[in-house]
Structure 1
Amino acid sequence: MSIESHPTSDCASAQHLPFYPDVELVPTGIRAGIAAAVAHRLFDRAVRDLPIRVEYPDGTVIGRTALPTDQPRLIVHRPDHFFARLGSGGLIGFGESYMAGDWSAPDLTATMTVFAQHVDTLVPTPLQHLRRLYVAKHPAAQRNSESNTRGNIARHYDLSNDFFALFLDETLTYSSALFPTLSPRPQWSDLAAAQRAKIDRLLDLAGVGPGTRVLEIGTGWGELALRAAQRGAAVRSVTLSVQQRAQALERVAAVGLADRVTIDLLDYRHVEGSYDAVVSVEMIEAVGYEYLDTYFRTIDRLLAPGGRVAIQSITMPHHRMVATRDTYTWVQKYIFPGGFLPSTRLLGEVVARSTGLVVRDQLSMGEHYAHTLRLWQQRFDSRPDRVCELGFDPMFRRMWRLYLAHAEAGFRCGYLDVQQLLLTRTEPGG
């Protein structure tokens, strides 16, 4: 049973989370009415030639009506609410309207993929120049300053360890896997091995072996620290997630590696010491544009002579990053407060101007992330009763489902990518 067909009454014990009060209120008033009318006109114009069917309650169908009904569809249940939110909130309103149940899609990922593929043409070119006047600005409270970052991290990663265990594999690895092949399509039984393969490749890039002093920035639930310690390395891992740290420590103790792994609740900016290898997996997205120089300078400061840095980062094309860098998005508001996705070009520029490091190796693996997300979403969708038991209501479940589908769509169409990067010193032998 899909989340969309799962009635609200099935989850009477769930607690309404405090993350989305704006979804409860439909914009009203003269300005909201005008904005809704404009949004309706622009939306219908945008989707008219897309490979998608938009279906309204009165039987109206917009888009390529000749498409079979099993092709991507967006079903609008409450048009007035949908366009009021879209007109007043733009893409944030589009996401909020899904959370509220104003629209649904039989195959949400397919529908989101259509929009991701045509993101550059959804808004008429003359109106794109007005973006800065219309879109919301980043709240100051979400900047990843030292005072804000822990709260931003807690909003996502401290939801509940049990919640993340619902859809992650046994390694509890919350980042892209690296499958040996993408054909035939990877299945759930392939995921844990692919996650370990991803980690092992990063550890190989960083030259981790017996006696290596390893710094991990961003602990997750401890799988990378465990695998590094099993190679004979001495590992220090830092995180700002209280819940992740607690479970990672339990996992480390359970396999008898507490003497080789230290996990500190510490901002990366305050780490001291000297390390032969620095490894960071999909943590850079939580650094923020303003702090990328600080992040890489910190790594440069901590890296011992001859050391190596292995980073896994979600990226987006440079022109899209520039266009959207100042845009406050639905994902930032509800999923990753303070999040920012760099381009590979930006990463290279920051490294060059702020450090004595240089990018030596780069692997693109966006298709692998698309398959990873598909498996997570399948697992999540198959366990609605357990999500309810943990206290998450249907609105939260729709929010999380949209997040997973939105991300998968981005990787499937190339709007997003994920890279493994190796950095070393620029000087000979470095």
Structure 2
Amino acid sequence: MSMSLSTVTAPVDTARWPDVARLPRASPLRTAVARAVVRNALRRLPLTVKLRDGDRLGTGGPVMRVYDPAAFHRRVGASGLIGFGESYMAGEWAAEDLVGVLTVLAENAATLVPPSLQRLRGVWALKQPAARRNTPEGSRDNISHHYDLSNDLFSLFLDDTLSYSSAVFRAFPATRELLPAAQHRKIDRLLDLAGVGDGSEVLEIGTGWGELAIRAAARGARVTTVTLSVEQRALALRRIAEAGQADRVTVLLRDYRAISGRYDAVVSVEMIEAVGEEFWPEYFATLERLLAPGGRIALQAITMPDDRLLVSSKTYTWIQKYVFPGGQIPSAEAIERTALATTGLRVARSDGFGAHYAETLRLWRAHFEARAAEVDALGFDATFRRMWSFYLAYSEAGFRSGYLDVRQLLLTPGGAR
């Protein structure tokens, strides 16, 4: 898709998007340093960067067009990767292959900033706002920010299962028609990992829109599933009733820390990312407390490299500001470290399938962008659409580059299989 300047300069609603509509304050020195760092990084990457002032950077590859270099550098100087994303939302740069550009950047994430400046991360990097901590009250607000946007919005790009997590395909490339079966394959693998069968007492942390609970109940299990999203719970209850499983599934609007009881299987799909590093010990202690003797815990988790987690975990990111406030992706090593340090749980199995998430996100983004008029009709503006497309492309690039992975993990007391 080619982009002219006129396609990316729609007015930005100042009240709705204040930090996109207005350029941030940034000292001339900070902006100059950002310009030098950015140009030095782009110059050696396999990209083709075309700046409006006529300069070209990169060694060749996916095309990135910078329409307002001064604004672009100022935003990056003021807030790093947050500014990079806000510049895209503002239409100051665009890409003919957005995933391609972002994949190159993700592949080189560890070396984009010189080591001398990386050591100053604590000085220049923005810190996560205290208000976004995942306390019981904060978690409710953080979850609502994303999942209570609109059930209709999510329905526009997800498949009929309304599964908002990585599918598992049989082969690539996949088509949209294969998504429901691929999502069921993912769910069934997790339920198998947890040993869910007829008569199992199952706890699901993070209901989504109810598909996992429905499939667990269809196996003969009794399911208690918890969510903090009012919108999700309402639709999940309806879908569970329509599937004829209302007598087997209880959907609670409750924080995971407030759950009681003991369960043969505890399952959770891509919810640990919303826990926050500060609360990982409490999360695993809660899982252990809720597990019946002989029980099994099966998690699906997005993970990042441990070395990148250690240097970036306190940094405030674009994703946290605009998409998942309070979110923090763990590493596989951090999951094992936390479980070992705070509980008797051990990781007995861990299977990665990041390429499948890249494919899932590709299909979601294509459908979202094809239904732009319907997104507008729901009351979301062009800046939101650019933000959401960037989020989906940014995530896909993370998995395509290998910077991100997604894993299904089995945790049991002592690591018993």
Shared fold by TM > 0.5? Answer: yes
Bigger Cα displacement from structure 2, 265-274 vs 41-50:
41-50
Task: Return the TM-score normalized by structure 1.
Answer: 0.93
Question: Is the aligned partner of 1:362 residue 2:359?
Answer: no
Per the TM alignment, residue 16 of structure 1 is displaced from its structure 2 partner at its CA by: 5.3
Q: Residue 166 of structure 1: SS of its match in structure 2? A: helix
Q: Aligned residues: percent identity?
A: 54
- Give 1:37's aligned amino acid: A
Question: What is the match of residue 86 of structure 1?
Answer: 76
Q: Which moved more, 1:18-27 or 1:224-233?
A: 18-27
1:22 to 19, 22, 27: 19
Contact 2:107 2:401 in 1 (8 A): yes
Give the partner amino acid of 1:328: Y
2:281 to 280, 285, 293: 293
Aligned residue number for residue 297 of structure 2: 309
Deviation digits for residues 206-239 of structure 1 (CA, Å, limit 9, x no counterpart) = 1111110000000000000000001110000000
Map of 1:140 onto structure 2: 130
Rounded Cα–Cα distance in structure 2 between residues aligned with 1:226 and 1:33: 57
1:371 pairs with 335, 340, 359, which one? 359
Which residue number corresponds to residue 117 of structure 1?
107
Question: Residue deviations 1:368-392, cap 9 Å, x none?
Answer: 1010111111111111101110111
Tell me which stretches of 4 or more aligned residues in structure 1 moved more than 3 Å. 1-10, 15-20
Q: Partner residue of 2:145?
A: 155
Cα shift readout 1:68-103 (whole Å, capped 9, x = no counterpart): xxx311101111211111111111111100010110
Higher relative contact order (CA 8 A, sep 6+): 1
Distance 1:248 1:17 in 2: 35
Question: What is the CA-CA distance between 1:129 and the residue it aligns to?
Answer: 0.2
Structure 2 residue aligned with 1:409: 397
Q: Which AA in structure 2 matches 1:145?
A: T
In structure 1, runs of 5+ residues without a counterpart are none
Aligned pair count reads 417
* Stretch deviating more after TM superposition (348-357 or 254-263): 348-357
- Contact 1:3–1:397 at 8 Å: present in 2 too? no
Partner Cα distance (1:2, 1:21) in 2: 28
Q: 1:20: Cα distance to partner?
A: 3.3
Show the counterpart of 1:34.
29
**CA spacing shift, 1:136–1:19, aligned 2, 3 Å:** farther
In 2, the alpha carbon distance for the partners of 1:362 and 1:19 equals: 42
Partner of 1:242: 230
Matched, 1:97 2:87: yes
2:20 counterpart letter in structure 1: V
Q: Distance in 1 between matches of 2:158 and 2:242?
A: 20
Of 249, 255, 258, 2:246 maps to 258
AA partner of residue 200 (structure 1): D
- Give the Å deviation of 1:19: 6.0
DSSP-derived class of the 2:330 partner: coil
Alignment of 1:154-193 (within 5 A): 154-182=144-172, 185-193=173-181
Q: Is the 8 A contact 2:163 2:208 kept in 1?
A: yes
Q: Is the 8 A contact 1:168 1:376 kept in 2?
A: yes
TM superposition shift of 1:4: 8.2
Partner residue of 2:383? 395
Report the equivalent of 1:74. 64
1:381 to 2:376 alignment? no
Tell me the alpha carbon deviations over residues 37-91 of structure 1, each in whole angstroms, 9 at most, x when there is no partner: 2211211111111100111113221112xx3xxx311101111211111111111
Structure 2 Cα separation of the partners of residues 233 and 3 of structure 1: 52
Q: Distance in 2 between matches of 1:220 and 1:48?
A: 43
Q: In the TM superposition, what whole-angstrom CA distance separates every residue of 1:109-139 from its partner, at most 9, and x where no partner exists?
A: 0000010011111111101100010011110
Residue type at the aligned position of 1:290: E
Q: 1:46 aligns with which of 41, 66, 74?
A: 41
**Contact map agreement 2:346 2:415 (CA 8 A) in 1:** no
SS in 2 for 1:120: helix
Give the conservation status (yes or no) of the 8 Å contact 2:191–2:298. yes
- CA offset at residue 35 of structure 1? 2.2
Deviation at 1:6, TM superposition (A): 8.7
Match of 2:52 in 1: 57
Could you tell me how far apart the structure 2 residues matched to 1:5 and 1:74 are?
A: 12
Q: Structure 1 CA distance, aligned partners of 2:69 and 2:327?
A: 31
Who is 2:193 aligned against? 205
Q: String of CA shifts for 1:221-259, please: whole Å, max 9, x gaps.
A: 000000000111000000000100000000011122110
Secondary structure in structure 2 of the residue aligned to 1:272: coil
Contact in 2 for aligned 1:219/1:245 (Cα 8 Å): yes
Counterparts of 1:205 and 1:51, CA distance in 2:
41
Alignment of 1:314-353 (within 5 A): 314-353=302-341
**CA distance, structure 1, for counterparts of residue 228 and residue 219 of structure 2:** 25
Residues 18-40 of structure 1: CA distance to partner in whole angstroms, max 9, x if unpaired?
66321111135xx5333222211
